[in-house]
Copies of this chain bind each other. A is one copy, B any other.
Amino acid sequence: MSIGEFELIQRFFNRPPLRFDIVEGIGDDCALLRPQSGKCLAMTMDTLVEGVHFLRGTNPESLGHKSLAVNLSDLAAMGATPTWVTLALTVPESDENWLAAFANGFRALADYYGVELVGGDTTRGPLSITVQAMGVVDEVGALRRSGARWGDGIYLTGDLGLAGLGLEILLGKTARQSPEALAKLERPHPRVNAGMSLAGFANSCIDVSDGLAADLCHILNASGVGATLDWIALPLPSVVRQHIEADGDAWMPLRAGDDYELCFTVSREREDELPGRMAEFGCSCVRIGSIEQQMGLRLKKDGAIYDLAALGYRHFS
């Protein structure tokens, strides 16, 4: 069953805005928004393409959730409080059930964080979703990649490797079963509250979307420092440990993307305050290594030191 573009927007995405800072939401040539005075506007944009970022036939509700989640995760990595989002949705046909499910997944996460969809575009074409998320943050408190300092502790929220395992399951590369791994891959939960509480506290931060090794390298390169990670400290869930022991690919959790945890660094003298800050949101967080003067990314494992700089996943590579 096919419906028109305008009706589609109206039916699934339009509603009276809930936020006071929206003068005009969906429905005119532009959205009109009142930015918070004295604050910085943080802005990020991510695209998910069928066959590249997700498999054909992916549950549309999960896709609605994930397309917003990956963007909120970038705001979290900056320490920003999310406010507004826009959505460019390209679909091969206007399938009402698919659209309703997608909108549900998207809106449920948006509502959870009080983020409002203020505009976008719907077009016909190969399935692809681009979301821009915006938020506010104090200019001085914003978490940059470039702020890591020699001696900082390196921390990671949540756990590592579940999304990577989930992808291997989806691709049929392993016979292992793990609903939690699939859930982590398809419905990652962005660390929005953790990110907000780290603003003005952590020295640097990034979200783990391309794999811990690759993403941490962005911090190291931007900051002009190096690091050594401690294998024993990595928060690998038991199903991930079992999988890499059976499979032999120990580097998977460091290389695999899509975990959407925050990796951040904290000055030695402030590390004591961290557990209290994170516990407030029920967000677990462990120290996985430390920032060093010597450039490069190393891993300490079973008494040996491995060079990890080359493990990052890249598009077009």
Contact = CB atoms under 8 A, between A and B. Distances in A.
Given A32-B139, A130-B130, A139-B32, A125 B52 contact: yes
B29 A124 contact: no
B44 A33 contact: no
Nearest to A32: B40
Contacts of A94: 316
Interface stretch (A73-81, A239-247, A290-298): A73-81
Interface string A184-218: 00000000000000000000011100000000000
A205 B94 CA distance: 29
B124 A130 contact: no
A205 B142 CA distance: 38
A3 interface: yes
A124 to B, nearest CB: 5
Nearest to A48: B123
| From A8, A45, A49, A314, residue with most partner B Cβ within 10 Å | A45
Copies in the complex: 2
Given A78-B29, A128-B128, A47 B139 contact: no
A121 interface: yes
A124 B52 contact: yes
Interface residues of A, number: 72
Nearest to A132: B132
Interface of A: 2-6, 8, 23-24, 27-35, 37-38, 40-47, 49-53, 74-75, 77-78, 80, 84, 86-88, 90, 93-94, 118-126, 128, 130, 132, 135, 137, 139, 142-146, 205-207, 222, 314-317
A206 B123 CA distance: 19
B124 A126 contact: no
A118 B40 contact: no
B52 A4 contact: no
A143 B206 CA distance: 39
Contacts of A125: 47, 49-52, 126, 128
